[in-house]
Structure 1
Amino acid sequence: MMARVTASLRAAIFVVTLLSAAGSSEHDLFLEFCGQWRHGKGPLSLDISVSQGCAGISVTANESSLSVKGSITAECQRTDVIPLDRSGFGSQGDADFCLLWEPLLDQIMLKVGGRTLILCPPSSPAEKCCTDLSQGLNYPEASYGIVNGRIRTDHISHKTMMGYNFTGLTTGCKVLCDQANETYVEGFQGTKHPCALRSEGAMSRSFTGQTFTNVKWDKQESSTTVYIPPSMGLATKRASAVSVTFYKNNSLFEAGYNEVKLLRDVVEITVGNEVIANLSEPIKIVFKHDVISRKHKRRCVSWDTRKDPLKVNWLVDGCETVKNGDQNTQCLCDHLTYFSVLVQLEPGPVRHLLPLTVITSVGCAASFFSCIAVMAFFCRNRRRSKEQSVAIHLGLALSLAFLSLLFFFTGVLVSADGNVCTWVGAMLHYALLSSLTWMGIEVFNTFWLVYMVFRPSPRPAVWYLIGFAFPVVPVVVLAAVGDIYGVLEIANADDVSEPYHMCWMKITEPKALLAHCLTTMTLLAVLVLSGIIMLFLVYRQIRCRDEWKQNRVAFFSIWGLSCLFGTTWGLTFLKFDPLADFILFLSCFLNSFQGFFLMLRFCMLDWIRKQADRSVLSRTSSGSAKQHMLQPSEKS
């Protein structure tokens, strides 16, 4: 009797489940499963094994590996074991992760250890979608595994489990597409997820070109048009079909980018499984979008899926940007992949970042050793020289050496744990302010030598107090305010997926940007303006002297004074098109090699002094152009 009742209850529950499933018109548009991976201290890896079908998916974890395995995709097949860098996992033994499955796009994305990994990239819509994933039988508890497992905001278990199973149901993709176009859901980053739209065209050697336009989205006019040129037919190895897929509002394409913003529209162009590049006639893609201000640069980009399939790598290579007003951008591209438009935010991406980084590193290394040589030179000759300018030269050389050393290692120290980067950023800011202050002291000292000949100049102790103690004040105040110094990410315009990180002020934040303008930029503007004025006054004062007629002395005097006065930093304010790249490289070269140029100046002037008439230059100090060039004419 009891067995009959139990069987009847099971049958009733089964019938109710079927009826509720059949009567429901709502399907899950995505699965978001999150938790913490409790791992060990050894090497870590990601084990991926996904295939076509709708049997289900499992997420498991142990001491060294996080695994995503199952059969739920329409087209994607991937089997791989990927080593993971421990630098993004911290030292606590628990790493946050989230797995997102979107059946409409056949897309699987995993966020773990601060990285966003694309296990299955977006693809064209299929006929059948695997959705409505429900929790199946869980794995047992363990010392290592998944803690605080949850589906969206619903917690499954707070215990440490070896893993979780999810089973799915097959549903028509058109049903999901209609539901997605009518429903706003709380997606992976809070965006709307409509289905992708695909169009196909026959391809052959006699192909004459074809235009594809996406249909209306959200009752708005079409926003993207693609023209496939006749050269595509000649580039294909066999008769096939060209597929153009339009994506919209897919947060995956923007994963990991903060300094640039991607348009809502992304276009994928494929021809079977063929790799087509270097077309003789480019593909023309016209994006119609909202008004983009002229101060925000936009560039056509394509996703390089070969460099790192796990990351979205937007590159400008192979695409030309044509701007047709504030609401229209045309892209001319010579290959097939995903295409879109990146819009520059503030601060904008830096072009030629790699060569600029190399120049800066080499220049800082050369400047550091040059400044050490300058300090050794002046210390050796200080007893024989009574000139007080030597103390100022020593202070400038010391501050520049410290600045060059910190700037050289900032790209390495940025990956250090704890608050190391915060301290390095504060010290780098201090070194820069100190160097600029010493250049300002050089300007003031020159003014004193030229116009206050019969008055004694301030003692060296006063200069040391100003040059080294004064910059401490703003740095300490900013450090006390907090959240000013830290990691600064500089976007690479040539490859936005490979930004440069350094320890500096967080100028992407309004508070740090204001502090940067009030301290660094203000001091820099005052220095450059006063330096230019003093250069003009010095030139007017010494242009009629006999020694000025010697071209070598004149050149090294003005060039050396330009370095001492910091006027080369004025190039920072002159980065305007069409010479922006040239000025950027020139500024980078002159400022990073500034210590080297100072050493060269002092060495050359010392050599000139020794070669000149002893009776004329006997009263000049070794290595000092100002005492020689700025002394009274009757002593010359």
Structure 2
Amino acid sequence: MTGQISAADLKALTQITKAGCGMSMFFLGVALFMHFLIRKNKASQAVQILMNLFIALFFLNLTFLINESIANLDNMAACVVMAAFMHYSMLATFTWFFMQALHLYFNLQKVPTDIKYYVFKICCTGWIIPSLVVVGLLSASKYDSIHISADNETSATMCWIPDAKIHLGVNIGYYIIVFFFTLTIFILTAVQITYFASKDAKAKKNGSTKKRFLSLLSLFILLGITWGFAFFSYGPLLLPSYYIFTILNSFQGFFLFVYYYFSSRIVVDDKKQLETQSSGTENTNISSSTG
């Protein structure tokens, strides 16, 4: 794809990607640290699923950042391992977008998720399915180094899948399935949010409108729909779609951290408010009984 853009644009996109992946890795690491070492309460099912997405995305960013360095070692075995690990991380990220949407669908349809080992079954599906694809490609020796060029000049080397047909069939085909499912769930959620908001008289206030917009934007990023901008990389939209795709997806880890941080604060504030209301009710009851 990069053969159709200039070397300057390729360099700019590479710098944006590296900066975004580095920042995303840092904030995803902070989020995982907060979750596993600081969080005292038992995490909800939604948070547990989100943490699995964070892990997959963390390794995707990591493998991308070190991929070129491994490719430049000219070590075939190391490059194959690097390509397979990066590919697995990418497919796992796509799969966890799907799992996020599936869990959201269950909540929308009020499907009980208190079944035995629900999260464990979700985790097995989320991590095993991508591994089957990668093992299949490894056994068929489909991983190797590739050369990325711009303006008919080689600009970079990385470990990946040299066969363009396999890349399109496996990766693009895999994401198309995820994309249509997550987009459908996003639309259903947006319709439901709009429907309930229209029934609320307070929804006309700017604050409520802003909150709904931010909620939908967060969901748009959470479900990985931003990866769909790659479908517009043709004709006059080629270069703009590359930049939009690169910025949104390179910094996706950072955006998800912001979502996780503020959603965690909302939960904490709600708990405090409930505790305050409960305490106030108890005091009122005590005063009434002693009066």
- Judge same fold: TM > 0.5, yes or no: yes
- Check whether the contact 2:186–2:219 (CA below 8 A) recurs between aligned residues: yes
Q: 1:552–1:380: structure 2 CA closer, same or farther, 3 Å change rule?
A: farther
Q: Does residue 366 of the first structure (1) align with residue 11 of the second (2)?
A: no
Q: Deviations over 1:294-348 (max 9, x none)?
A: xxxxxxxxxxxxxxxxxxxxxxxxxxxxxxxxxxxxxxxxxxxxxxxxxxxx773
Compute the displacement of 1:438 (Å): 0.7
2:97 matched residue in structure 1: 439
1:429 matched residue in structure 2: 87
The letter for the 2-side match of 1:500 is: A
Q: Deviations over 1:12-43 (max 9, x none)?
A: xxxxxxxxxxxxxxxxxxxxxxxxxxxxxxxx
Counterpart pick for 2:256 among 563, 577, 598: 598
Counterpart pick for 1:487 among 138, 142, 145: 145
1:557 matched residue in structure 2: 215
Counterpart pick for 1:451 among 97, 101, 109: 109
Q: Does residue 540 of the first structure (1) align with residue 191 of the second (2)?
A: yes
1:173 matched residue in structure 2: none
Q: What is the DSSP-based 3-state SS (H/G/I as helix, E as strand, rest coil) of the residue aligned with 1:491?
A: strand
2:5 matched residue in structure 1: 350
Counterpart pick for 1:569 among 213, 222, 227: 227
Partners in 1 of 2:90 and 2:241 — Cα distance? 21
2:280 matched residue in structure 1: none
Q: Deviations over 1:335-367 (max 9, x none)?
A: xxxxxxxxxxx7734331000000111111111
Partners in 2 of 1:562 and 1:465 — Cα distance? 25
- Check whether the contact 1:527–1:565 (CA below 8 A) recurs between aligned residues: no
1:502 matched residue in structure 2: 158
Partners in 1 of 2:223 and 2:209 — Cα distance? 21
Q: Does residue 392 of the first structure (1) align with residue 49 of the second (2)?
A: yes
Partners in 1 of 2:25 and 2:187 — Cα distance? 30
2:170 matched residue in structure 1: 519
Compute the displacement of 1:492 (Å): 1.2
Q: What is the DSSP-based 3-state SS (H/G/I as helix, E as strand, rest coil) of the residue aligned with 2:158?
A: strand
Partners in 2 of 1:379 and 1:353 — Cα distance? 38
Counterpart pick for 1:471 among 123, 130, 133: 130
Q: Which has the higher contact order (CA 8 A, sep 6+)?
A: 2
1:531 matched residue in structure 2: 182
- Check whether the contact 2:87–2:134 (CA below 8 A) recurs between aligned residues: yes
- Check whether the contact 1:425–1:486 (CA below 8 A) recurs between aligned residues: yes
Partners in 1 of 2:10 and 2:65 — Cα distance? 15
Q: 1:383–1:451: structure 2 CA closer, same or farther, 3 Å change rule?
A: farther
- Check whether the contact 1:433–1:520 (CA below 8 A) recurs between aligned residues: yes
The letter for the 2-side match of 1:579 is: L
Q: Deviations over 1:467-499 (max 9, x none)?
A: 1121111111111111x2111111112xx3342
The letter for the 1-side match of 2:128 is: A
Compute the displacement of 1:410 (Å): 0.9
The letter for the 2-side match of 1:515 is: I
The letter for the 1-side match of 2:263 is: L
The letter for the 2-side match of 1:514 is: K
Q: 1:541–1:616: structure 2 CA closer, same or farther, 3 Å change rule?
A: farther
Q: Identity across aligned pairs (percent)? A: 25
Partners in 1 of 2:4 and 2:80 — Cα distance? 23
The TM-score with structure 2 as length reference comes to 0.82
Partners in 2 of 1:607 and 1:386 — Cα distance? 14
Partners in 2 of 1:451 and 1:382 — Cα distance? 29
Partners in 2 of 1:385 and 1:604 — Cα distance? 18
Compute the displacement of 1:542 (Å): 2.2
2:73 matched residue in structure 1: 416
Partners in 2 of 1:574 and 1:617 — Cα distance? 50
2:61 matched residue in structure 1: 404
Compute the displacement of 1:513 (Å): 2.3
- Check whether the contact 2:5–2:239 (CA below 8 A) recurs between aligned residues: no
Q: 1:426–1:617: structure 2 CA closer, same or farther, 3 Å change rule?
A: farther
The TM-score with structure 1 as length reference comes to 0.39
Matches within 5 A, 1:271-420: 348-351=3-6, 352-380=9-37, 383-419=40-76, 420=78
Instruction: Tell me the number of residue pairs that the alignment of Structure 1 and Structure 2 aligns.
Output: 265
The letter for the 2-side match of 1:534 is: I
Runs (5+) with no aligned partner, structure 1: 1-345, 507-511, 619-636
- Check whether the contact 1:349–1:490 (CA below 8 A) recurs between aligned residues: no
